[in-house]
Structure 1
Amino acid sequence: MILYSIGNLAKLSNSTVRTLRYYDEIGLLTPSQLSEGGHRYYEEQDVIKLQYIKILKEIGFSLITIREMLEHQHLSHKDALTMQLKVLEIEKERIEEQSRSIRYLLQLSEFEELANWKDVFDRIPMNPSSTNTEVYERIWKNYFSKEEVQLFKDLPKIGDNDETIQVYISLINDIRQNLNIDITSSKAQDLASRYIELLEKDFKGDFQLAEKVWNKQKEVKDGLGFYQFDPAIVDFIEKAIVHYFTVNAKGQ
C-alpha cells in the first residue's frame, strides 16, 4: 500500500498543505492514517477523493455541499475522470463564449467606423451571445413562417467564426467608401451585384424573403435582431439594387 505524506499529496495534487489541513479540520478529507507524532498519511483512495473535491469546487460547489455529496457516494477512478471531463466541457463553453464576445467587438469595429470605446459599447447588446437568437426567435414568429424562422437561425451572425461575416464586412466598407458615386455607375452596380449575391446565398435563393426581412427590419420599432446598417448605407443599397434590377429586367 502506498502512503502519501501531506506534503507529498499537496505537491501531487497541486494543492497546499494548509488547504489539506483545513479539509481535515472540516471533515472533508481526513487522512487514512496518523502517525504517533500526529503526521497525516493518505492512501490512493484519498488521492482520488481529493481530485473529486477539486473538480466539484472548480465547477462551483461549496465545500459544505461537496462534503455532503461525498458522504453519500462511493468514489472511483471513473467518477473522477467523468467529473474532470465535465469540467473541461464547461471550460470549453466558457472559452468559446469569451472568444465570441471578442470576435463580436472586432467584427463590429470593422463593420462601422467607431471613433472610441464609448461608440463601441453603445452598439453592443447586453449579452452578445447565441442566446439572443432565442429572444429574437419569439419576435420572428410574429412576422414569419416556421420555415423562415428556421432559416434565420442558421444565418451567420456578428460574433460567429464564419467567413461570410468577413465578406459582408469587406462589402460594407467598400460601399461606405463609395457612398457619393452615381448609383448607375459600373462601380455602384458591382457593389449591388455583390450584395445581391450574398443575400441569395444566405436566403437560399429566395430574394423575396430577403426583401421581406429588409422591409420588416425597418418597420419594427426595435428591429428584428439583424444588423442595422447606417441610414446612408441603407439608402445607397436600396437605390443601387433598384437600378440593378431595372437594368437587368430590360436586358432580358
Structure 2
Amino acid sequence: MFVIYLLIGFLATFAGAMAGLSGGVILKPVLDFFGHYDLASIGVLSGACVLAMSSVSLISSNKQGQQVKRVQSFLIAIGSVIGGTLGKSIFNRIFTSVQLSQHVGWIQSSLLIVILVIIFIFIKYRQNFKTYQIKHPLVILMVGLTLGLAAAFLGIGGGPLNVAILSWLFSMDAKAAALNSIFIIFFAQLSGMLVVFFTTDVSDYHLTMLPVMIVGGITGGLLGSRLRIWLTVRHVELIFNTLIVGIIFLNAYNLLVYAGLAN
C-alpha cells in the first residue's frame, strides 16, 4: 500500500507540474476511486501532496530562470488565499452536517465533470474564443477569490481552472499559464492546510499515507517542473487535454459509484 500511494502521489504531481494542473484534480478522483479514505481525509492528503509539489516546482522553476507574472499572479494568489479559506470552511461545515455529508461526494464529482468539460472545450478550441488582458487590481483579486473558493470546495487545488482563466482573461499561452497556475496553487493550498490544522481536530483524519504521498509530491514536482522547460506549448496543451479527458471519465465513474449504479 505504501508503494501504491507513493506512486499515486508521484504520478499525479509529475503530470500536474508539467501541465499546471496541481495534481489535486488528479489525486481527488483517484483517491475516490480507491475508496480507502473518507472525503475529508482525501482533501487533506491531496492538499498536502499538492502543497509539497508546488513548493519544489516553484523553487526548481526559479532556478531555471522561469518567471511568473508577479503582479497579476500575486493578486490572484491573494484572492485565492481568501477564497481558499472560505471554500475549505464551507466544505468543513457541510461535511460535519449529517444531513449534507452524504451528498458531498456526488456533488463534487458532478461539478467537476461540468467544469472540466467546459475547460477542455475552451483549451481545445481556444483560437475561437476572444481573450483579454485584465489589468484592474480589484478585478484580478476577485478572479483569484473565485478560483480559490471553487478549488478549495472541490478539493482539486485549482489547476485546470487556473490554466483556463489565465489563458482566457490574461492571454497567457499554455506554458506561461502552467507556471503561473503553480504559483497560485502554492498560496491557495498553504491557506487551505492552515485552515484544516488550526480549525479542526487532525486526529479525526486518516493520514497514514501522508508522509509517502508528500515524498511522491516532492519528487513528482521536481521532475515535472524540470521537464516542462523542454516542452513546447503544443506539448503542454496535449498533456493538459489528455489528462482532462481521463479525469472526466474517472469522475463519471465515481459519480456512478456515489449514485449506487456501479460497484
* Larger Rg computed on CA atoms: 1
Structure number with higher helix proportion: 2
* Category of TM-score, reference length = shorter chain: under 0.3
TM-score (norm 2): 0.22
For CA contacts below 8 A with separation 6 or more, give which structure has more relative contact order: 2
